[in-house]
Amino acid sequence: MGAVVAVIVILVILGIIAATRTFKVVQQYEKGIIYRFGRVLPEIRGPGLTIIRPIGDRMAKVNMQIVAMAVPAQEGITRDNVSVRVDAVVYFRVVDPIKATVNVQNYMFAISQQAQTSLRSIIGQSEMDQLLAERETVNRELRRIIDEPTEGPWGIRVERVEIKDVSLPEGMKRSMSRQAEAERERRARIITADGEYQASKRLAAAANVMSRDPAALQLRLLQTVVEVAGERNSTLVMPIPVELLRFFEKMAPGPAAPEPEPITQLDDLGDAEVAAAEAAISNVKVPELEESSIPPVPEVPQVPEVPEVPEVPEVENAVTPGVREVTAPDVAQEDKA
């Protein structure tokens, strides 16, 4: 009786083992590959419950989900000789489970190594400005480099590659900060100069109006007085009214004052005029001078040569007429006399 029970127990255990080797469950995100005596069957089992042979068959499950793999930071020198440190993340998935399990031993490790070498390669081919500003272009090129040797032979497709961070040296960061500060200062100066230019146009128009009408000057003076008087502890010095000076000018004898010129319509010196003036200045082209339009240079008349003055011959022992030559003996005789 005990032997029968032992046999039954052994049969039950063998049945359970056979059942576990026969019935396999494949998840929704997996694919099942059957190895029959070491040979891969072309049929790929889908998700759900599947039955295999308990002897000679073995199932390998391959995850078909998209895997996000972080690429360790890689140091390199860009094409413009700047040392940078770049790290990225690779998104890939298995599209052919048979190739992913047969052609490569560990496709996760293989993708990691391929991503690191490709990242160092793309650093050397790019410039610093491209790594910072043109991320989309660098990501597409990096994805192409990684996906080219992996999809065909390994059955793995790289969906996307993203550069996470670009670390620059401290000296380069300071240089970029100074460059950004200089650019902002340049824009501020341009805006200030533009505002002063437009304000000068408006002030010129206001001065033109006030110069034609003295009452406007007087009103502006009274407005200034009101503004100054509103402040405390201020001393206000009033100039001589313009009407009083004009009264004395009329009473003083002299030539008649010229008649005032008629007031003409003032030009609009607003924004439209400013924009038109700037456009005119920027589009002005200096005409080139043609050879025919250049007036000929008048010739300078030649100065006649001055005739040479003849040299005066030297006179040796010349005696003026009427003057007797006196010699030493004659002088001596005259002294004796």
Could you write out the DSSP letters of every residue in 266-328?
A: PP--SHHHHHHHHHHHHH--PPPPPTTTSPPPPPPPPPPPPPPPPPPPPPPS---TT-PPP-H
Residue of higher predicted confidence among 19 and 259:
19
Range with lowest mean pLDDT among 21-25, 37-41, 143-147, 311-315:
311-315
pLDDT at 249: 67
Helix (H, G, I), strand (E, B) or coil at 1: coil
Which one-letter DSSP state was computed for residue 286? P
For 148-164, the pLDDT digits (tens) are: 888 888 999 999 999 98
The pLDDT tens digits for 131-142 are 888 888 899 999
pLDDT band at 291 (very low <50, low <70, confident <90, very high): very low
Rounded distance, CA 27 to CA 44, Å? 13
How many percent of the chain have pLDDT more than 90? 20
Most confident of 140-144, 293-297, 308-312: 140-144
- Greater confidence (301 vs 40) lies with 40
Look up the pTM and report it. Answer: 0.54
**Residue 319's pLDDT is what?**
44
pLDDT at 297: 46
- Does the pLDDT of residue 322 top 70, yes or no? no
**Do residues 51 and 22 touch, judged by C-beta distance below 8 A?**
yes
How confident is the model over 3-18, as pLDDT tens digits?
Answer: 878 888 888 887 787 7
Is 315 a residue whose pLDDT tops 60? no
Phi/psi-derived region of residue 34, left when phi > 0, alpha when psi is between -120 and 50, beta in every other case:
beta
Q: What is the pLDDT of residue 302?
A: 56
User: 103-107, 155-159, 324-328: which has the minimum mean pLDDT?
Assistant: 324-328
Query: Is pLDDT at 292 greater than 80 in this prediction?
Result: no
Q: How far apart are CA 42 and CA 98, in angstroms?
A: 8
Strands (DSSP E) contained in 130-211 are 156-167
**What amino acid is encoded at 320 in this protein?**
T
Q: Any bridge partners for residue 83, and if so which?
A: 77
- Is residue 318 scored above 50 in pLDDT? no
- Residue 288 reports pLDDT greater than 60: no
